[in-house]
Amino acid sequence: MKTIITFIIVFGVLVIVHEFGHFFFAKRSGILVREFAIGMGPKLIAHQAKDGTTYTLRLLPIGGYVRMAGMGEEEAELPPGLPLSVELNADGAVTKINTSKKIQLTNSIPMELVRHDLEDELTITGFVNGDESEAITYPVLHDATIIEADGTEIRIAPTDVQFQSAKLWQRMLTNFAGPMNNFILAILLFVLLAFMRGGTPITDTNQLGSVIADGVAEKAGLQTADKVVSIDGKRIATWEDLAMTVSENPEKDLDFVVNRNGQTLEMTVTPRAEKSGNQTVGKLDISVPMKTGLTDKIFGGVTEAVDSSLRIFKALGSLFTGFSLNKLGGPVMMFQMSSQAADAGLTTVIALMAMLSMNLGIINLIPIPALDGGKLVLNVLEGVRGKPLSQEKEGILTFIGFGLLMVLMVLVTWNDIQRFFF
């Protein structure tokens, strides 16, 4: 249960923060956000705000999404012959269109749909009260709402509030805002980690941090702030050199040369053995030295975020030199990582969320249709050509990109299942 809750929180926060970026800049650009959903699947609660956005809470507590006007896959299907009802104002204009069998409007007029135009002409035509001798056309208000089959009430999407009606730079910013939010979240979380840990690790030094009482290092005579000059004759220049050498030699006597306040000391230290996954590693019961100033913590968190992004780019680069599904991970791997993080404690959970947030932001900027990066490429292409691709061509590219992503996701998920459960 702890793992499940951790997975839901981590995955949910990452996706909601991502979608909020799209939501915020779409609103600022004058694009109608028809729905902002927390969770997926069947609707539990819905509230339509005065700004025209319907906020919904859905059954499956994983992620969320934003429905922007003019994004074709988000439009409700209204085929001819569809039974529906309309609600009129005092001037005879439609204020509400009900296509749901779950909702009954008290003062509505039943209609069999003949045709409609809710984007430009703003009209709806149909046979009223079962009378098929004459089709009646009603004007539709610009801010009218439509009740979908599941009972969700959203605004209609006239052309002037659709995504394509915004300026090119506004659409580019809206597309980039999701990954941008993930980068901001990652940086904030890495800074938070620096404060929770009490500082930022100093890794370009051979100096010891705190020596744990009654640990291996203290019993061998090592003290806080000692500088390890060499181990078994091997020069030690950085913390990584020290950690690697100790890790590779569990329960082996190591000859340390140490500098303490200008004095050279020699001592024998035997790292204790500790299980780490499928390996046994050596430990000295010491901590990395830390910079503990306020600015050190802030800049240290930012630096760690940058280092995390560089590791992700390096991993992506390795896919081109030697592709392997084992280099990728899907929801199953994320669940496994959430399980390990939940067992390790809050700090590890936050570190996982920070790393995954950076990962999600970068992956979404890969120039593949259906991802934000692919949309940005189409925006750039539009700027070069002076006109956008036709919706048909853009839809085909998006469909192909989405299909490739789904195939890859299935392969990665199956590979993860085999790795972790068989």
Residues that are catalytic:
19
Structure tokens at 363: 């992956």
Q: Token pair 């913390």 is at which residue?
A: 239
Q: Which of 367, 397, 22, 31 is CA-nearest to residue 389? A: 397
Structure tokens at 194: 């620096």
Instruction: Report the alpha-carbon distance of residue 356 to residue 152 in Å, rounded.
Output: 32
Would you say 146 and 124 are in contact if contact means Cβ atoms under 8 Å apart?
A: no
Residue 80: strand, helix, or coil: coil
Would you say 27 and 33 are in contact if contact means Cβ atoms under 8 Å apart?
A: yes
Instruction: Report the alpha-carbon distance of residue 171 to residue 361 in Å, rounded.
Output: 18
Neighbouring CB atoms inside 10 A of 313's CB total 11
55 strand-pairing partners: 36, 47
DSSP labels, 322-372? S--GGG---HHHHHHHHHHHHHH-HHHHHHHHHHHHHHHHHHHTSS-TTSH
Would you say 264 and 257 are in contact if contact means Cβ atoms under 8 Å apart?
A: yes
